[in-house]
Amino acid sequence: MPRLPTASGWTRNDSRTQGVPERGTSPSPISLPLSCAGEGDKGGEVKKMSDNVTATEITQFTSWVVPVLSAIGGAAVALIGREFIEWYRRPKLNIDFEEREGQKPYNPDYYDETLPALASGLTFRAKYLRLIVRNNGHKPTMDCEAKLELFAENEITSNTTIHWSRRDPALYSKYGEGGALLSIETEKVYAPISLNINDKEIVDVFRVIYSVSIVLEADHTPRAYPYIESVSLRQIVLQPNNTYHCKVTVYASNTVPKSFNFKVNWDGTLEGFNKAFTKE
């Protein structure tokens, strides 16, 4: 096989000897292709750049997200705190039978000079069932209105606005010659009221008119057929020897409604009126 000239002499042109260094020479360093080295360098550069961009993005993200979350959290805490304060300071209504002189319910006995029949010169004696409404909250209760509902077999059969005792009809009545009653401003008699903090008001619910006279404080003639009637804008009549289920609800403009439930079972006697009402 022919030998090829080299810088150090002749060598054989044999594939078995290609790439084998001549005796007395040291092997040349193996160089990688330029493309490979370049790709490796670029890869390192990309990795470093990617690391740098990620860190920058995180820094930018946290620089605005953390303050935003803090602001939202602070606003939420402030809102919850304000709502809690409002809830704590809210008006709180409480309703129960009027209690006095060790009697509950207390049934006062009055001369009633406020009925429209006064126009004919008559006066009445009447016993009342009244409820006492208290505001146990930390803020006045505004625009309180009391309503009476009558139930039969769990269905409402009657619904009417009842009377706050402080709204004395005599204050809203017009009289003619001889003291005859001409008119009553009904809308004012049954107007809503406000309750201050720790204040209480009496609401008239039912009454039984049991005697009548033409002279005040004279002997009254017993009523032949007494019945219980509501002290209300629209009258509800309860007959003796029947069971009635009643609910009085007080509504206000700045607090939740409060209800009071009781049962009426009256035997038709004046003495029985004091025992006719039971809380449910």
User: What is the band of 255 on the pLDDT scale with cuts at 50, 70, 90?
Assistant: very high
Domain match, 51 and 184 both: no
Residue 98 and residue 204 in one domain: yes
Question: Which two three-digit tokens encode residue 22?
Answer: 């001549």
What is the mean predicted confidence (pLDDT) over 131-139?
Answer: 94
Residue 16 lies in a domain: no
Q: Mean pLDDT, to the nearest integer, of 31-48?
A: 46
| 125, 111 contact by CB (below 8 A) | yes
Asked if the structure places residue 114 within a domain, the reply is: yes
Cα-trace Rg, the chain = 48
| Cut 0.85: pTM above it | no
Range from 34-43, 137-146, 155-164, 254-263 carrying the lowest mean pLDDT: 34-43
Q: Which residue has the higher pLDDT, 211 or 252?
A: 252
Closest CA to 128 of 77, 162, 175: 162
Scan for tokens 């959290």, then name that residue.
73
Count of domains observed in the chain: 2
Q: For residue 40, tell me if it sits in a domain.
A: no
Lookup: tokens for 61: 């993200």
**Do 83 and 134 fall within a single domain?**
no
The larger pLDDT score, comparing residue 135 to residue 71, is at 135
Tell me if 103 sits within 8 A of 151, measured CB to CB. no
* Domain's final residue, options 24, 55, 89: 89
Q: Backbone phi, then psi, for 50, in 5-degree steps?
A: -60, -40
Q: DSSP code of 14?
A: -
Residues 69, 176, single domain; the answer is no
Do 265 and 167 sit in the same domain of this protein?
Answer: yes
**CA pair distance 82, 127, nearest whole angstrom:** 47
Query: Does position 46 have pLDDT exceeding 50, yes or no?
Result: no
Looking at per-residue confidence, does 5 or 211 come out higher?
211
Q: Domain ends where: 60, 89, 118?
A: 89
Q: Rounded to whole angstroms, what are the CA distances from 99 to 76, 96, 102, 227, 247?
A: 46, 9, 7, 23, 19
DSSP 104-128: SS---EEEE--SGGGGGT-EEEEEE
Q: Is 233 found in the same domain as 180? A: yes
- Do 181 and 65 share a structural domain? no
Say if residues 167 and 191 touch (Cβ distance below 8 Å).
yes
130/262 same-domain check: yes
Encoded tokens for 144: 């309180």
Q: Does the pLDDT of residue 94 top 60, yes or no?
A: yes
- % of the chain exceeding 90 in pLDDT: 34
Long-range contacts of residues 167-170, Cβ cutoff 8 Å, at least 24 apart: 167/191, 167/193, 168/114, 169/114, 170/113, 170/114
* pLDDT at 226 (0 to 100): 83
Q: How many residues does the chain have?
A: 280
**Mean pLDDT lowest among 97-106, 128-137, 140-149:** 97-106
One domain for residues 183 and 255: yes
Q: Is residue 33 part of a domain?
A: no
Range of the domain at 62: 47-89
Of the given ranges (60-69, 203-212, 225-234, 256-265), which has the lowest mean pLDDT?
A: 60-69
The verdict on 193 and 207 lying in the same domain is yes
Q: Which tokens in the block code for residue 99?
A: 């209690």
Instruction: Please indicate, yes or no, whether residues 116 and 208 belong to a single structural domain of this protein.
Output: yes
Question: Residue 215 — φ and ψ, nearest 5°?
Answer: -130, 130
pLDDT higher for 13 or 175? 175
The percent of residues above 70 in pLDDT, for the chain, comes to 62
Domain membership flag for residue 66: yes
Please report which confidence band the pLDDT of residue 32 belongs to, taking 50, 70 and 90 as the band edges: very low
Structure tokens at 213: 């006279």
Query: Tell me, what CATH number does 138's domain have?
Result: 2.60.40.10
Closest listed residue to residue 173, CA positions, set 214, 114, 110: 114
The mean of the pLDDT values for the chain is 76
Q: Is residue 224 part of a domain?
A: yes
pLDDT (average), residues 212-222? 65
Please compute the mean of the pLDDT values over residues 84-111 and round it to a whole number: 85
Q: Is residue 104 part of a domain?
A: yes
